[in-house]
Structure 1
Amino acid sequence: MKKIAVILAGCGVYDGAEINEAVLTLLHIAKAGASYQCFAPDIEQLHTINHLTGEEMQPNRNVLVEAARIARGEIKALSQLDVNDFDGLIVPGGFGAAKNLCDFAVKGTQAQLHVDMLRVGKAFADANKAAGYMCIAPAMIPLIYGNGVKATIGNDADTADALKSLGAHHVECAVDEIVIDEQHKLVSTPAYMLAQSILEADAGIEKLVKAVIKMC
């Protein structure tokens, strides 16, 4: 059975992992006959957003504690992730991917990755193990894989330009499609960067999960 590490960035589209993307990812991993283990950094979120009003709220929350809501408590600190224990890696999106796993949401082309996210991402890249990034998470791809890597966030011009500035070869992609960089065993899909419904998000996510597992 293939084992997939899934990195979550909290719980909720505006400050953490996009819940639908995360759950659909876990569902399709299981449907494909593989297993998963969820991870998240044990850190404070950049901020906590009231998802009803869109306003910041206090007190702030912990990324690992919040992500445990999605994982039903079955989650480990990202610092514990050992690449040798897994065949592949998948990173769902949500603004938390750009706020908690890195600071792309704040710093754009000057972004840096959380130390454990960088370690883990590079470990999978260096081991030539399959990885999938969805929604805004592909913003991290050039910081992990370097210049010329193929990736997509869909078709948002400003975000695509930022990825290009970071060194990626950005490929425009429909919501229900994926972009594969065969050399790096890397898959990306727009998901809720473009999706207008859970059905639209599901189409690309299912393809990404299947592609990652096939490359394992």
Structure 2
Amino acid sequence: MAAVRALLAPRLAAASAFAPRPGGRAAPPRAALHGSAPRAGPRVALVLSGCGVYDGAEIHEASAVLVHLSRAGADVQIFAPNVPQMHVVDHTKGQPSEKETRNVLTESARIARGKITDLAELSAARHDAAIFPGGFGAAKNLSTFAVDGKDCKVNGDVARVLKEFHGAGKPIGLCCIAPVLAAKVLRGVEVTVGHEQEEGGRWPYAGTAEAIKALGAKHCVRDVSEAHVDQKNKVVTTPAFMCETALHHVHDGIGAMVREVLRLIQK
């Protein structure tokens, strides 16, 4: 038992940093996402929309972005808006859970391993790039696209962040359904959500391309393992789970998106 306690002691000590303080408040996180020393690489803001494909950020996409950024030596800070989710979906059924509510920032903290900041505090002046993973949260919590289509509204802080980075000439990466955010806010931008035909179910959300055109943006057909780069606006997009395919193809496409975002930082 002594050996077991010795093995667990460091983890228990780390966990105690998050234990409630007297009065009920939790202590702020003290460690970086991966527990490593701070890096001097590019500073990238990752914006999440909850936790779970049907009502938040797509977890595999968020994780893939983090892996590729980590491999590139980027210094990542994770953000999410402090707002209620549109609704909560039971992911075993794909149906909304009645009378259940959740908060986007609180749910996103699950992916961030607790180290997360309110999106209201994100400033382009302190970061070199911003990346938005997909998942239905982008269309439900960061905007109303899931309900209103081309007539959607974008969360105020999301719109502000997109305009700030764009105005500063700093790159923005978006994947899956998230490119609709740029299409709405940055008129005339070039983005991709993949192919424009369903092709027997391989591209089940192909109709999104027409909505993007209706928003005044240009849609560019790309495969799932590719990224499209709008050189003029410094916006990089990739289809991700807009395509029904093997996970590693989605991972490869996100890797291409991350590489292009980081390349644009150098220009």
* TM norm structure 2: 0.79
Give unpaired runs (5+ residues) of structure 1. Answer: none
Which sits farther off after the overlay, 154-163 or 97-106?
154-163
Counterpart code for 1:215: L
Contact 1:125 1:144 in 2 (8 A): no
Quote the Cα distance in structure 2 between the aligned partners of 1:37 and 1:95: 22
Q: Report 1:13-162 matches (<5 A).
A: 13-57=53-97, 58-147=99-188, 149-156=189-196, 157-162=206-211
- Is 2:231 the counterpart of 1:192? no
Give unpaired runs (5+ residues) of structure 2. Answer: 1-40, 197-205
Give CA deviations for 1:98-153 in whole Å, capped at 9, x if unaligned: 00001101000101100000000110010010110000000111222112x11001
User: Structure 1 stretches (4+) deviating beyond 6 angstroms?
Assistant: none
Residues matched between the structures, number: 215
Q: Report 1:148-187 matches (<5 A).
A: 149-156=189-196, 157-187=206-236
Give CA deviations for 1:169-208 in whole Å, capped at 9, x if unaligned: 1011100001100001110000000142220110100010
1:90 Cα shift?
0.4
Contact 1:175 1:195 in 2 (8 A): no
RCO higher in structure (CA 8 A, sep ≥6):
1
* 2:20 equivalent in structure 1: none
Q: Percent identity?
A: 44
Give CA deviations for 1:43-79 in whole Å, capped at 9, x if unaligned: 0000000000111113110000000000000100100
